[in-house]
Structure 1
């Protein structure tokens, strides 16, 4: 699901994890057109979790993609907010157009959520 720019914090710090563990946000970043993986791309992640609301500064963090365009962030369990358990992700590094994603979990009991970016040049 596209969208989810609410509570976005430009420049959220790159961190190893957001708070405690128990949940994993993962995904890929690829170039539009040829589908090539994009390494070293900054992805910001935030969510309403067992440790805080999505507007809280400690519920935000960023990570970089690896050489295969894959990212992963460990974080506290996502819990329903506004009726749905969901996460927020943003690509905002500047080499490509900014994209916000809001993937929805199939169940509040899920412990993993994937999101995949396909980026167009800025």
Structure 2
């Protein structure tokens, strides 16, 4: 089971579809490359802005990790979808323990 924590949000379908695809890809990556529990959350970061995060409890990202330099199709798909949301992709250590965390920060459509 993957815990999902979501704030009350009203997002148009044009945003929900890319977000769903991003979650699917990030969760698949966490299951493949991470370990332990996978967590998904959607929070408000500031008025008019959301943050979608997927984290795991594995060993974390290798030093110098650059998602734009990976050869995998998944990160290229994620980068394209983040662009469709006019968002940005942040990544690094899981702030609540061991592992990696990927966060997509994007503006509210309204």
Q: Relative to total residues, which structure has the larger strand share, 1 or 2?
A: 1
TM-score by length of structure 1 reads 0.30
Q: Considering Cα pairs closer than 8 Å and 6+ residues apart, tell me whether 1 or 2 has the greater RCO.
A: 1
